[in-house]
Amino acid sequence: MVVFPNGKINLGLNVIRKRGDGYRDLETVFYPIDIADGLEIIPTDSSADPIQFSVSGLKINIEGAHNLCVRSFELLKRSFPQIPPVKMHLHKTIPVGAGLGGGSSDASFALKLFNQKFNLNLSTESLLDLALQLGSDCPFFIIDKPSFAIGRGEFLERVNVSLSGYKIILVNPGIHVSTAEIFSVVTPSLPSKSIKEIIQQPIDSWKIELTNDLEEPVFKKYGEVKQIKDELYKAGAIYASMSGSGSTVYGIFTEDKPPHFFFPSNYFVKTLKVK
């Protein structure tokens, strides 16, 4: 059985306060996008190894026991020992460490696939609880609908926002940004207007009001990420922003305006039409 874990972009991101557990409270809107990995799970008769994990496509830095897909299997296996040994293959097309949530999506889709394939009868709430044990933004991919997120990103509220009729251009320079490092240098503050309110406004107002607090430290350390955003606006983007902690920058364009830009050949550039 094969599923296709999709990515996401962040529509705005405000770092609101520092928590006692070392995390930061934030607010953002997660928006699913049509770029996906492929994940296949096949039961096997092998009793020597409960899981055989393989990867193709883009290279990932975390493999084997530390991969979130493997951890999702191990998490479920503790509560459902009847799950048989499996072969799991992940084909990566979503850039890694890019602010697009690829690893989190893979893990959450693995949970949903195990639940379906082995008739575990887990409710959505149970899947959300399990997903949170794997990562702060993993619960979003259980719902996988536009959502306003607060806390570490785990408290989700469906929102009515649609980019249908636009196209989104993703640009990633291949830089792996340390999320923990970037969060550590941001000074939390309460925004004057919530992202949940801003996204209900016309998209052409977002350029002024919809911000990502993580951009400034990333731009300061990696000037090429800022250059991407500047280039997307020069090419006619209605709105452009870094997604999450980066390093992917996306631009939202009208379908009738073909953008013209140049990025180095080693950059990942992909155009997505929003249905």
Query: Phi and psi of 268, rounded to 5°?
Result: -85, 120
- Mark residue 250 as left, alpha or beta (left: phi above 0; alpha: psi -120 to 50; beta: remaining): beta
Q: Clarify whether 21 is annotated catalytic.
A: no
| C-alpha closest to that of 206 among 8, 9, 43, 1 | 9
Classify strands 6-18 and 24-36 as parallel, antiparallel or unpaired. antiparallel
Candidates 8, 92, 112, 167; catalytic one: 8
Candidates 106, 137, 213, 229; catalytic one: 137
| C-alpha closest to that of 250 among 167, 169, 165, 162 | 169
Q: Clarify whether 220 is annotated catalytic.
A: no
SS3 category, 160: coil
In whole angstroms, what is the distance from residue 188 CA to residue 112 CA?
Answer: 34
Contact 26, 62 (CB under 8 A): no
Residue positions annotated with a catalytic role = 8, 137
